[in-house]
Structure 1
Amino acid sequence: MSARRRRGPSWRLLWILPAGLSLLAGLDAALLLLGVPAPVSAARLPDVHGMLMVLGFVGTLIALERATALAKWYGFIAPGLLGLGGIALLADPVPLVAAKVLLVAGTAAFTLIYIPLWRRQYDAPLLVQLLGAGLGCAGSVIWLTQATMDHVLPWLIGFVVLTIAAERVELARITMGPNAGNRLLVHAWTITIALVIGVIFPDAGAILLGLALLAMVAWLIVHDIARRTIRAKGAARYMAACILSGYVWLAVAGVALLFGYPDAQPAYDAIVHAVFLGYTISMIMAHATTILPAVLHIDLPYRAAFWVPAAVLQLSLIVRLWIGDGLAQPIGWQVGGVLGVIALLLFVVTAVTSAILGPPKKNEKRRDAAPARVAASHPVSSRVPTTSRPAADTPEGQE
């Protein structure tokens, strides 16, 4: 047993707790928005559902992973502020403006993390991540000045899309070629330009954003190693299936944007959930068994049970977007939404159970072991060494 494993979970587990709380509160808010019974009915939960999920949950996770790569104490300010902002959002006694300010500060601190990372390694995918973080910060600033999310979500879409796409390119340098980073940077600037145009000309910006997303998705699907590992077994196939599913849902959002600015509820709902559930959560499900061990020093072995929440998530999106949004059947919208909540809760339960049970037996491990080449499809294990030395259990990476 390694020394790291004997030390037990990392102190960074503290930063996961507010992210998990934001996730649970966001799911509760989703049930309230669907008009179905929910465990908690706090007054402003439905109004902050989007920010709880995108910045409180996803943003904190990504910022924590980047802070781990930086391995400096000040890097953890960003996930700390984002997590605290998520808690403030769900606490009714805290003024909403105070929660918004915390999120602005958190996204600004997250953007600043990339400056020392850039000095450590001059890399095009890192620039794309910096641009994505800047878009997330812009979205939080816009939300500070207004009450609704209509003009905020496009910037949050840019944040998650560019961040995850840059991670994928970092991992597939061998298959994508040496110029892959520069090509992604072109896609990233096209998406950013579309967002800026959309501020003045909403329909034109939406159409351009749809075209940019489709172009980037087509390029990623062609070059991503997941196209090869989908033919493997066990963990490799599971990860590839989640990754390719994420690309499909991002393409769905791109097609929907070609019809112009989504001012009608069905189109808006379809785009938002295709990106933030179909694309983002599918990618999180794909990489969780690598992210958590690398960041938290907690074993999270792959088990076949992980297929269940992944399959329920895809089913929920089909029901919600096709029957609910496409065919305008409210029952489809509700059933699909509830299934999405169930999928996320199932994934959390599966992950916690797998971590508690520990590594599977040797014969099961041999059956589910991924080929050596699948290491290239893991974002944290491959990325942390490229931007920093392996972090230990202290902020400076020292014993």
Structure 2
Amino acid sequence: MNALQATARGLPGPSASRTRKLARAVFGGLAVLSLLMGVAGGLWRLGVAVPDPRVFPWTGPVLLAHAALMICGFLGTVIGLERAVALRHPAAFAAPLASGAGAWCLAFGHPAAGAWLGVAAAACFLAVNAVLVRRQWAAHTLLLLVSAGAWLVGNLLFALGHGGHAVLPWWFAFLVLTIAAERLEMARLMRRRPAASAALHALLSLLLLGAAWSGAAPRTGGLVYGAALALLAAWLLAFDIARRTVFSQGLARYMAVCLLGGYGWLGIAGVAWALTALGWPMRDVALHALGLGFVVSMMMGHAPVVLPAVARIKLAFGPAFYLPLAALHLSLLVRFMPGTAGETLRAAGAALNAASLAFFAATMAGAALAWRLRHGAAGARELT
């Protein structure tokens, strides 16, 4: 069948298929680079020399850009891709392209260019979500638009040279609001009192207030922000559909376990965030209970759904999916364990955090290979 016949039958021609594969490789490469550099920077900060920083000439920029690489470079690119696929317009891919390119600049010693590319990415992402709101006016799409605005504010503050106390609350608000919007969409499947919706909107407004307040008054803003995170965790545990689907089977149960575990870490992060604002040495717990315990648990839970939709990679689900999830939670327990050996355990826990992410990636690769072996060449052709 030639290219013209393929197009006439509604199938992609060879050139279109090659273009799609190239685009997936480019975006995948940008996201993976951001993740690898971000993880390396986090390990180096705690003295874990894996990989050896002496053989990498840009160690300094990676150390400084750890949070930006993880949140804006990796997660921003992945979320931007997901939304671009939903919009189905080529211009929507400008957002993940800019965020990925910005991460590349940050990692290789061009911080100003990387920061302003992040601003461009967030601005494009805001426009993409505005179009999606026009297509579907709903509470969850409006909340996604607000989350994009939070990312833009955080990236602007970062580009203008503001510190982490001002920037990080906005970056994490972007992630938390994005997840809350997805859960709000699923919550339509459950009956709940009108007061529950009003409470959620109040909590998310409180979160944004805390983010805005943190720049001018870190102590007060941190207390408000931490309280909002802890209360949001309680709301999700009380009203999210995962409370019911955890008693089901298969993939639905796995996703529910990921979600409920993540909500627990969200509550811990909220308490630690407030205690940090009061002067307690809980910053590592606040940031990584939120970024790893909550956000990565959500990522692990949604990957079996997102990968087929965005990357056209189908997965064969099995009990092995629970192993990297358990490894992540155990690594966080080691990292946050108090005592006289705290710094040693913290470094060991960070190394185990990285190992659990690698374990998860290997599990996804194995699941993709298992699906292809199970369905053969015909199934593989469906994904091109």
The two structures have a TM-score, normalised by structure 1, of 0.83
Map of 1:397 onto structure 2: none
Map of 1:249 onto structure 2: 265
- Aligned pairs, number: 357
Q: 1:106-151, CA deviations, whole angstroms, 9 ceiling, x for partnerless residues? A: 1111111111111111111112111111111111111112274332
CA, structure 1 residues 117+178, in 2 after alignment: closer, same or farther (shift >3 Å)? Answer: farther
Inter-partner Cα distance in structure 2 for 1:43 and 1:260: 26
Map of 2:74 onto structure 1: 57
Say whether residues 1:159 and 2:174 are aligned partners: yes
Question: Which aligned pairs between 1:1-399 and structure 2 lie closer than 5 A?
Answer: 10-11=20-21, 12-13=23-24, 14-41=26-53, 42-92=59-109, 95-146=110-161, 148-177=163-192, 183-259=199-275, 261=277, 266-323=281-338, 329-358=342-371
Q: 1:347-398, CA deviations, whole angstroms, 9 ceiling, x for partnerless residues? A: 1111112112216869xxxxxxxxxxxxxxxxxxxxxxxxxxxxx98xxxxx
Inter-partner Cα distance in structure 1 for 2:176 and 2:275: 20
Contact 1:30 1:46 in 2 (8 A): yes
Consecutive unaligned residues of structure 1, counting only runs of 5 or more, are: 363-391, 394-399
Q: Give the letter for the 1:251 counterpart.
A: G
CA, structure 1 residues 181+123, in 2 after alignment: closer, same or farther (shift >3 Å)? Answer: farther
Q: 1:186-211, CA deviations, whole angstroms, 9 ceiling, x for partnerless residues? A: 32222111222222222221111122
Deviates more, 1:281-290 or 1:187-196: 187-196
Inter-partner Cα distance in structure 2 for 1:105 and 1:40: 33
Inter-partner Cα distance in structure 2 for 1:263 and 1:80: 39
Inter-partner Cα distance in structure 2 for 1:112 and 1:177: 32
Q: 1:166-190, CA deviations, whole angstroms, 9 ceiling, x for partnerless residues? A: 1111122121549566653332222
Q: CA deviation at 1:53?
A: 0.5
Inter-partner Cα distance in structure 2 for 1:281 and 1:107: 21
Instruction: Point out which structure has higher relative CO (alpha carbons under 8 A, 6+ apart).
Output: 1
CA, structure 1 residues 154+215, in 2 after alignment: closer, same or farther (shift >3 Å)? Answer: same
CA, structure 1 residues 6+339, in 2 after alignment: closer, same or farther (shift >3 Å)? Answer: farther
Between the aligned residues of both structures, percent identity stands at 36
Map of 1:381 onto structure 2: none
Contact 1:135 1:159 in 2 (8 A): yes
Inter-partner Cα distance in structure 1 for 2:279 and 2:116: 27
Q: CA deviation at 1:334?
A: 0.8
Task: From the two aligned structures, give the one with the greater helix fraction.
Answer: 2
CA, structure 1 residues 361+215, in 2 after alignment: closer, same or farther (shift >3 Å)? Answer: same
Inter-partner Cα distance in structure 2 for 1:275 and 1:340: 13
Give the SS at the match of 1:152.
Answer: helix
Q: 1:35-94, CA deviations, whole angstroms, 9 ceiling, x for partnerless residues? A: 0222252232111111111110011111110111111111111011011111111113xx
Q: 1:259-304, CA deviations, whole angstroms, 9 ceiling, x for partnerless residues? A: 352666x411111001110010000000101101011211122222
Q: CA deviation at 1:164?
A: 0.6
CA, structure 1 residues 73+263, in 2 after alignment: closer, same or farther (shift >3 Å)? Answer: farther
The two structures have a TM-score, normalised by structure 2, of 0.86
Contact 1:312 1:343 in 2 (8 A): yes
CA, structure 1 residues 194+349, in 2 after alignment: closer, same or farther (shift >3 Å)? Answer: same
Q: CA deviation at 1:98?
A: 0.8
Q: CA deviation at 1:231?
A: 2.0
Contact 1:204 1:260 in 2 (8 A): no
Instruction: Specify the structure having the higher radius of gyration (Cα).
Output: 2
Contact 2:192 2:239 in 1 (8 A): no
Inter-partner Cα distance in structure 2 for 1:284 and 1:187: 22
CA, structure 1 residues 193+20, in 2 after alignment: closer, same or farther (shift >3 Å)? Answer: same
Contact 1:176 1:223 in 2 (8 A): no
Q: Give the letter for the 1:339 counterpart.
A: L
CA, structure 1 residues 359+236, in 2 after alignment: closer, same or farther (shift >3 Å)? Answer: farther
Contact 1:309 1:343 in 2 (8 A): yes
